[in-house]
Amino acid sequence: MALGTGGTESRTYTARLVRLERAGWKRALDVQAPYRWNLRRLLGDRRVLDVGCGIGRNLVSLSADSLGVDHNPTSVEACRARGLQALTVDELEGRADELHGAFDGLLAAHLLEHLTPGTGAEVLRPYLRFLRPGARLVLICPQRRGFRSDATHTEFLDDAALAGVVTALGARLDAQRSFPFPRPLGRVFTYNEFVTVATLEDV
């Protein structure tokens, strides 16, 4: 069980995430507010496994018993410093029996675009054992402008590509949306996202 890299495994990458999150204008305007609202709307009180959690930007919006996992130990340390529950990939593997079937949601937000192209379903599949039947899957990827904004992005995934990942995982596709603005604005607005929601009926 592993997360692909795409250059996201270093301390330098964690430092970049922290620097971006702490940018004064982002904090003053609370630019994350609509994204927090969207995650809560989609995942509610579910216990969620946040795969590729980074420094916990989304994990803070999930239920308190949710768990983040990341291949970057420095990012996991940053999550813990915020009072969040997070494990490295190896630590999660060490608790596999304990956490088998423990979650009713899985979030993969801004993860798949960092992986070796075409491996999204392969990377996510080992995490399905931690889910209960009927668990909700939420996959989020950047649109055109956002994809070009980060040199560690390796594969552009639109609605069709994300639907393909859902199918490969054996899940049922429920909805696909552009958030927060319509898809055409994804060419000019860095933070427009493709959001795919699915249900894992059998594990």
15 found inside a domain: yes
pLDDT digits (tens, 9 = 90+) for 119-128: 999 999 999 9
117 found inside a domain: yes
Residue 74 is classified by DSSP as H
**Angle of helix 11-21 relative to helix 73-81, nearest 10 degrees?**
40
51 found inside a domain: yes
Which residues form the domain of 18? Answer: 11-200
**HSE value, Cβ hemisphere, 13 Å, CA-based, for 19:** 6
pLDDT digits (tens, 9 = 90+) for 105-146: 999 999 999 999 999 999 999 999 999 999 999 999 999 999
90 found inside a domain: yes
The domain spanning residue 41 has which CATH number? 3.40.50.150
6 found inside a domain: no
pLDDT digits (tens, 9 = 90+) for 41-92: 999 999 999 999 999 999 999 999 999 999 999 999 999 999 999 999 999 9
pLDDT of residue 24: 58
Cα(76)–Cα(71) distance, integer angstroms: 8
Residue 27 has pLDDT above 90, yes or no: no
The number of distinct structural domains making up the chain is 1
Cβ-based burial of 74 (10 A; exposed 0-12, middle 13-18, buried ≥19): middle
18 found inside a domain: yes
Could you tell me if 138 and 111 are in contact, meaning their C-beta atoms sit under 8 angstroms apart?
no
Indicate yes or no: pTM above 0.95: no
87 found inside a domain: yes
